[in-house]
């Protein structure tokens, strides 16, 4: 028979009165000295850590990544150094714009964040289910997210805010078109691709650098809801994607993705039609074919959602030796922003939380801060260099300089000549769609733009229509007809 456990305070002190407060007599006032009452209420008040500003609602699971192909000519990263090698991973999926209580089937991009627990430290590959993004400079990000959240006056979501921003920022068009297609409402997390989205770099044993993009291809097959199906599911089961993931893993139907990469040399980058570091653009796979790397499998549900999924913290800054950054402006901004967000949300020592902790040795001079749980370095010195410990800088892990030509630091127009083609790729994407996909995408755009209201409605609609026309004439005409816009005026505006 299992032995009973004693009820204790958080400090381990046993107590008996868990349901009744200490009072002066049967009906008298409560005494200040009832510490258990204080502890219960104070902890309850703090049970909700600040939710993520974006990607607030998510699902996650543990699994493994297995190398299936040799890519050592591109990278010395140990996670890839042997065919057959397995690395533990944690993957968190999420919606982007909604709060923690929002529905899983909202029209929204989906976060796809993977933490690889490698022997050279944790690698966080933090992307989405789309290969591009809405903006390409981090200064634009807070403004963009404000338009996806709630109107400061009505506290409701606003189509006017969203389309006003998008119509004023045509760099968003590629991602907006994907969002308005059926890919904007995935059937489940298991049935969608994942992307690193940004351009990163690989460094090999000869200190040679190539540019790289990461693609996770679902082995379950792509499956999407139509707009009507997604809306119906929101009412039936707002937690559909969470439930689907948990139940699939519980029944042994482990979801899997094939990791593939695209590789571009510096010479190819110099001659590429678009800026290869622009996250609103893709690298055409006909020019830069996918290269097989390995398979990621999710096979273990966390035993406690808060401990693992809610406290999971990812940051694109976390890259091990052999993997590095690029001049991608959005990536550069995220290197700072994500770690800062986690320190605000979870505290300075968030990387000591089990789901975030590196399973291998960690040695540094960080000390103190809330929730320090690793002994805080004991009696060891807390500065470097010093004459007492034997921690040495890992000079054999030095990264080669990033060749950027004769460029200088400054503030440059992100949409200057040569950086302002926002239309070719979205137009190509639309023309690749099947007739049914085109019809669904147009219907979704018309439905979404129909929510634009207020005195600037005509201005916003016409401005956005101008972008659709520039991407593809037939797309613009179909949207204008759907919105009951006078085609002659719309064409004149275009």
For residues 401 and 416, the answer to whether their CB atoms sit within 8 Å is no
Place of tokens 């599911």: 233
Catalytic residue among 18, 43, 55, 191: 55
With CA atoms as reference, report the closest residue to 177 among 85, 271, 107. Answer: 107
Neighbours of 427 (CB within 10 A): 21
Q: DSSP secondary structure string, 39-102?
A: HHHHHHHTSSPPPPSSS-SEEEEEEEEEE-S--TTT---GGGSSTT-EEEEEEEEEESSS-TTS
DSSP 323: E
Chain centre distance of CA 367: 29
Decide if 38 is catalytic: no
Decide if 193 is catalytic: no
CA distances for 232 relative to 93, 156, 187, 369, angstroms = 21, 20, 12, 47
Cβ partners under 8 Å of residue 179, min gap 6: 107, 108, 109, 130
For residues 360 and 121, the answer to whether their CB atoms sit within 8 Å is yes
Catalytic residue among 128, 275, 356, 440: 128
Instruction: Mark residue 364 as left, alpha or beta (left: phi above 0; alpha: psi -120 to 50; beta: remaining).
Output: beta
Instruction: Mark residue 381 as left, alpha or beta (left: phi above 0; alpha: psi -120 to 50; beta: remaining).
Output: beta
Question: How many angstroms separate the CA atoms of 398 and 470, rounded?
Answer: 46
Q: Which residues are catalytic?
A: 55, 128
């Amino acid at each position: 028979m299992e032995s009973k456990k004693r009820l204790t305070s958080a400090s381990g002190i046993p107590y008996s009165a868990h349901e009744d407060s200490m009072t002066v007599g049967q009906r008298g006032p409560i005494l200040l000295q009832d510490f258990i009452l204080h502890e219960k209420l104070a902890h309850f008040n703090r049970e909700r850590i600040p939710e993520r500003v974006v990607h607030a609602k998510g699902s996650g699971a543990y699994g493994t990544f297995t190398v299936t192909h040799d890519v050592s000519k591109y990278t010395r990263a140990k996670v890839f150094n042997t065919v057959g090698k397995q690395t533990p991973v944690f993957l968190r999926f999420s919606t982007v714009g909604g709060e923690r209580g929002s529905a899983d089937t909202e029209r929204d991009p989906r976060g796809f964040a993977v933490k690889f627990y490698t022997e050279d430290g944790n690698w966080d590959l933090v992307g989405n289910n789309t290969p591009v993004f809405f903006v390409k400079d981090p200064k634009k990000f807070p403004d963009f997210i404000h338009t996806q959240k709630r109107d400061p006056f009505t506290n409701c979501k606003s189509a006017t805010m969203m389309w006003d921003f998008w119509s004023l920022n045509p760099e968003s068009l590629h991602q907006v078109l994907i969002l308005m297609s059926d890919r904007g409402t995935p059937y489940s997390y298991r049935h969608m691709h994942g992307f690193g989205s940004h351009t990163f770099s690989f460094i090999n044993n000869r200190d040679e650098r190539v540019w790289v993009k990461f693609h996770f291809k679902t082995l379950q097959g792509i499956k999407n809801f139509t707009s009507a199906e997604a809306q119906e599911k929101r009412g039936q089961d707002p937690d559909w994607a969470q439930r689907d993931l948990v139940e699939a893993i519980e029944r042994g139907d482990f979801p899997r993705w094939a990791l593939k990469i695209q590789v571009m040399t510096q010479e190819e980058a110099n001659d590429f039609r678009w800026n290869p570091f622009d996250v609103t653009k893709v690298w055409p796979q006909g020019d830069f074919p996918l290269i097989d790397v390995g398979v990621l499998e999710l096979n273990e549900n966390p035993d406690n959602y808060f401990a693992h999924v809610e406290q999971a913290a990812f940051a694109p800054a976390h890259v091990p030796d052999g993997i590095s950054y690029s001049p991608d402006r959005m990536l550069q901004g995220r290197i700072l922003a994500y770690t800062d967000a986690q320190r605000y949300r979870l505290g300075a020592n968030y990387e000591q939380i089990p789901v975030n902790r590196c399973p291998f040795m960690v040695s540094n001079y960080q000390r103190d801060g809330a929730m320090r749980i690793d002994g805080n370095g004991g009696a060891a010195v807390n500065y470097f260099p010093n004459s007492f410990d034997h921690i040495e800088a890992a000079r054999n892990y030095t990264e080669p300089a990033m060749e950027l030509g004769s460029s200088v630091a400054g503030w440059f127009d992100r949409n200057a000549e040569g950086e302002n083609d926002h239309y070719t790729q979205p137009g190509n994407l639309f023309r690749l769609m099947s007739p049914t996909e085109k019809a669904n995408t147009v219907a979704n755009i018309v439905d979404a733009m129909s929510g634009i209201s207020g005195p600037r409605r005509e201005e916003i609609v016409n401005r956005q229509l101008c972008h659709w026309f520039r991407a593809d004439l037939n797309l613009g005409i179909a949207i204008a007809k759907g919105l009951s816009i006078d085609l002659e005026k719309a064409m004149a505006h275009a």
